[in-house]
Every structure is written in structure tokens, then in C-alpha cells.
Amino acid sequence: MEYFGVVTSAFLSTVSIIFIIAMLGYFVGGFEIKGISLGTAGVLLVALLFGILASYVPYITVGGKNIVLYLDSSLTLDSGAVLSSTKSLYSLVSNLGTAMFVTAVGLIAGPKFFRTFSKKSLGYILMGIIIIAIGTAVSLLVAAFSNDPNMDVDLAVGIMTGALTSTPGFSAAKEVAQNADKVTAGYGISYLFGVLGVVLFVQLMPRILKIDIAKERETFVAANAVEVKYTTRTLHAMDPHGFFPFALTIVLGNLIGSINIPGINFSLGSSGGTLIAGLIIGHFGHIGPIDCRISKSSLNFFRELGLCFFLIGAGVPGGVNFISHVKVSYFIYGAIITLVPMIVGYILGRHVFKMSIFNNLGSITGGMTSTPALGALIATSGTEEVTGAYAATYPFALFFIVLAARIAVSLF
């Protein structure tokens, strides 16, 4: 029995759990129903379910071994044994995943991003602002007209940041909220639909509109074709797989993200900083004689692994907090805050800014600051060119969601 406990303890170590969730998530995400699948978002679903399980059973004892599934803080048992918190490990996995995914997106989009930046890019900027403005307005209306005595601006803004899947906005709101726990509760309740709603939106819209994906992709790629010319000087590659320039980009991105704008106390954070660093290094392709170009296959791998880690690191704690805070009405509010900005944004993108379907959806994923939805859109469209619209919209949406969250909590 003791041997069984040792084996089970090894099998259910935090590292093993992370990859079990990944394995099951990709298994679930691989199933298609009428051409629609969760894809990588299946990882989030499994992570949330594991978190919900762990909220009821935070640890198990097998063969005298105490095996922690998830603990927010250290726990001392009656026997005197101390179980360590695993919260920081999942936070590390989430942060690492975010950095990898966003850096890869920046490096993929970088070679063409600045070369195609023109008056048309104003549409992406406005999309980011409009989507966040609508989300904020709906959230404040919810706080003003809800009959729930517990509903106030702290809870409403928490629901908003979850519905728009914005961790930086969530963090900014907590800093100035009177009741940070309410912000956290609202974020956890709406985050699930915030992720899955956008993922399904970018998959369903082409089908609803009966878009010929193959034909649209061919036209889209041709319209976005830009001949990328790097310097002809001799460059030195530090390694064959691109680990050096990728790591360098993340380090520089974190430095950029740490720069704080005084007055409004705003910074891009690691996600915004690594995106900017990726765009810049991807654009130039080198730093002095050092070759910073990374193969497409390596970037795709970094991007997918990062997305997987992010969903696990964010999903498990989200599942733990989900049951204790959820209310059907709050979930509905979150769904409305997720859907209304997307629908309005799509209409504006199509009829006002005259965007193609892929640019429109790419801009929406950026405006919703939705990392998983971009992955779903890449899979749906069959081209990575959609990262350009995401990268053009995301920084502005990121800035305004942080600003909106702070202003809403402070003034209302």
C-alpha cells in the first residue's frame, strides 16, 4: 500500500497534473461537432473542471502520502503534516505561458506589422477603443440597474475584466477597489464564458455568414502579402532553434512592460511589453550582428505551448474559485458583456471600417484581449496572417481596459 502511495504521489505531482490536463484538454478539444471544436480551449475547460474538483477535494491521502491537488495557501493537518500551497506554481505556469504566446505572436507579426501600418490601421485602433468602451458602458449599466444588493461597481468591473479576459485590467481594478475580493469574484465568474464565448464566436461567424474559408484565405493572404527584406550583412545565429532570440525578446519585453506612466499609474505589463518587443525584433530580424530570425515552425511551437500553459495556469485557480462565487445572474451579466462588444465591433468592422472577415475577427480577438481566441482563429482561417490585426488592436485595447477599470472603480 505504501508503494502504491509513492507511485500515486509521483503520478499526481503538480508537474504531472499540468501535463495530464494538457493531454485531456487536447483530447477534448480535438472533437468536432458539425465542424466546430474547442481546439486548445479544451485545455481551459479541463483545467476549470480540475479546479472545481480541487475546490471540494484540495488534497488526497493514499498509502500514507498526502497528495495536493490545489491549495491557495499552506495547510496544517491534524497529524501535524504541513501541505504546501501550489498557487504560486500555477501562477508561474500562467505567466510563463502568456509570455511565450504573446512573444511568439509579436515575432510572427513583426516582419509585416510596421510595413503595413497605414491609415487603414486607424480602424484597428478604433476597434480596440470601441470594444472596451462598450464593455465598460454595459458593466456600469449592470451596476446601476441590477436589483442585486451585492452588485456594486467593484463586482461589475470584476465581471467586466473577466468577460473581456483581461488580467491586466483585473489587476488594475483590484489596486483601487474598495473590496478587492468582489473584483476577484466577478472576474472568476465571467472568465469562463469570456474565453469560450470569443473562441466560439470566431469559429461560428464564418459559418453563419457561409464564408468560403479556402477562397477567403487565398484572397486574404494575397492582399496581405508583403515582401520582407532583411539586411544582407552576415549575421551570426546563436543557436539553430531560435531559443536565444526568443528568450532575449521576453527579457526585453518584461523591461518594456515594467515602465510605468506616472499620473495614471499605467504600464503595459509583461503581456503588452512582450508583444511590443516581439513586433520590434520581428521587424528588424537582428540586433547588430546577432541573427534574431526564428523559423516559422519554432514560433508555432512556442505559441501553442505558451497558450496551453496559460490556459492551465489561469484555468485551475479559476475553477477553484468558480463554485464559491457563481450566481446565474452574474454569469448572464458576464455573457452580455462578452457578446455585445463583439457583435457591435463586428458590425463596425464590416460596414464602417470595411475590414475583411479575417481582419475583422482578428481585430475583435485583439480588442477582447483574448489569447485563446486568436489561436482558434488561426486554426479556423488556416493562416497566421490574422495575427497582424490582433497585434494592431491588442495594445490599444490593453491600455484602455486598464484605464477604464481604474477610472470606473475610482469614480463610481
Out of 59, 89, 119, pick the residue that ends a domain. Answer: 89
Q: How far apart are CA 158 and CA 368, in angstroms?
A: 15
Cβ neighbour number for residue 371 with a 10 Å cutoff = 27
Q: Residues 56, 157: one domain?
A: no
Q: Residues 65, 152: one domain?
A: no
Q: How far apart are CA 392 and CA 395, in angstroms?
A: 7
Residues 115-136, mean pLDDT to the nearest whole number? 83
Q: Residues 106, 57: one domain?
A: no
pLDDT at 230: 59
Q: Residues 372, 389: one domain?
A: yes
pLDDT at 291: 87
Q: How far apart are CA 345 and CA 104, in angstroms?
A: 26
CA dihedral 198, 200, 202, 208 (to 10 degrees): -130
Residues 21-30, mean pLDDT to the nearest whole number? 91
N-terminal to C-terminal alpha carbon distance within the chain: 59
pLDDT digits (tens, 9 = 90+) for 297-346: 899 899 889 888 988 887 888 778 777 667 788 889 999 999 999 999 99
Cβ neighbour number for residue 233 with a 10 Å cutoff = 8
Out of 89, 121, 150, pick the residue that ends a domain. Answer: 89
CA separation, residue 364 to residues 32, 92, 150, 269, 390 (Å): 24, 28, 31, 21, 7
Residue-range definition of the domain harbouring residue 80: 2-89
pLDDT at 410: 67
- What are phi and psi for residue 333, nearest 5 degrees? -60, -45
- What are phi and psi for residue 235, nearest 5 degrees? -115, 150
Q: At what angle do helices 243-258 and 269-284 cross, to 10 degrees?
A: 130
Q: Residues 241, 255: one domain?
A: yes
Alpha-carbon Rg for the chain in angstroms: 22
pLDDT digits (tens, 9 = 90+) for 84-94: 888 888 888 98
Q: Residues 74, 177: one domain?
A: no
Asked which of 135-149, 163-177, 390-404 is least confident by mean pLDDT, the reply is 163-177
Looking at every residue in the chain, the average pLDDT score rounds to: 83
Q: Residues 199, 346: one domain?
A: yes
Q: Residues 268, 404: one domain?
A: yes
| Percent of the chain predicted with pLDDT > 90 | 20
Q: Residues 15, 162: one domain?
A: no
Q: Residues 245, 354: one domain?
A: yes
* Helical spans, DSSP H, in 12-40: 14-29
Amino acid identity at 96 = L
Amino acid identity at 165 = T
Contact yes or no for 309/94 (Cβ under 8 A) = yes
Query: How much is the pTM?
Result: 0.75
Q: How far apart are CA 338 and CA 322, in angstroms?
A: 18
Q: Residues 121, 68: one domain?
A: no
Out of 25, 54, 89, pick the residue that ends a domain. Answer: 89
pLDDT digits (tens, 9 = 90+) for 367-393: 998 877 888 898 889 988 888 888 888
Residue 123 has pLDDT above 60, yes or no: yes
Contact yes or no for 192/160 (Cβ under 8 A) = no
Q: Looking at the 3D structure of the chain, how many domains does it have? A: 2
pLDDT at 171: 64
pLDDT at 364: 95
